[in-house]
């Protein structure tokens, strides 16, 4: 992930099958049907995009692994499309909502590398979507929708230059 959270060092790459969903999102996530649907969706996410470009780099994920951030009770994954020194990244995340038990916040974003002369985070978010849901059924329905959004974004172009022009950042 090009732009991880500040406390990214406490996160680990993990296979979706090993994620402690009930510990992250609440006891309603402990059922076999919920886990099976989650694994189906994460498998579809992986199949829709090429392996992350970080594969083979020290500390990088293997294809299919997700980042688990225990303190934030969050999981996320991203796929990076590189074109020379430019890059485009599509990221997806799920996290618990502390003030609403059994609720999840889900989202996806499409970012490109920054080429600005002024210092700032090093990327520009071109498009994003965010959902808040209650219970696993709603969260997995939202994850299905989020996957459709990422499919539509990438179907338009996997080239950073095209998205840069679209956002008026050329």
Rounded CA separation 110/108 (Å): 7
pLDDT for the residue 93: 94
Cβ neighbours for 49, distance < 8 A, ≥ 6 positions apart: 79, 90, 150, 154
Give the pLDDT mean for 24-30. Answer: 91
pLDDT for the residue 84: 84
pLDDT band at 55 (very low <50, low <70, confident <90, very high): very low
Confidence check: pLDDT of 51 > 70: no
For β-strands 12-14 and 123-134, DSSP reports them as unpaired
67-86 pLDDT per residue, tens: 998 888 899 998 888 888 88
56-69 pLDDT per residue, tens: 455 567 778 899 98
- The position carrying tokens 């974003």 is 109
Q: Per the structure block, which two tokens stand in for 19?
A: 């994620």
Confidence check: pLDDT of 4 > 60: no
102-120 pLDDT per residue, tens: 789 999 999 998 777 766 6
Give the pLDDT mean for 77-100. Answer: 87
């Amino acid at each position: 992930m090009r732009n991880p959270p500040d406390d990214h060092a406490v996160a680990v790459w993990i296979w979706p099958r090993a994620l402690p969903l009930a510990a992250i999102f609440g006891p309603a996530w402990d059922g076999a049907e919920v886990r099976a649907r989650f694994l189906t969706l994460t498998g579809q996410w992986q199949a829709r995009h090429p392996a992350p470009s970080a594969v083979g780099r020290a500390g990088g994920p293997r294809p299919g692994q997700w980042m688990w951030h225990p303190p934030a009770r969050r999981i996320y994954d991203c796929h990076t499309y590189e074109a020379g020194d430019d890059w485009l990244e599509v990221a997806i995340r799920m996290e618990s909502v502390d003030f609403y038990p059994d609720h999840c916040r889900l989202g996806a974003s499409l970012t490109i590398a920054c080429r600005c002369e002024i210092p700032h985070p090093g990327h520009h978010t071109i498009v994003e979507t965010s959902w808040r849901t209650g219970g696993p059924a709603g969260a997995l329905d939202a994850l299905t929708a989020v996957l459709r959004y990422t499919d539509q974004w990438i179907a338009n172009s996997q080239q950073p230059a095209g998205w840069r022009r679209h956002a008026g950042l050329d």
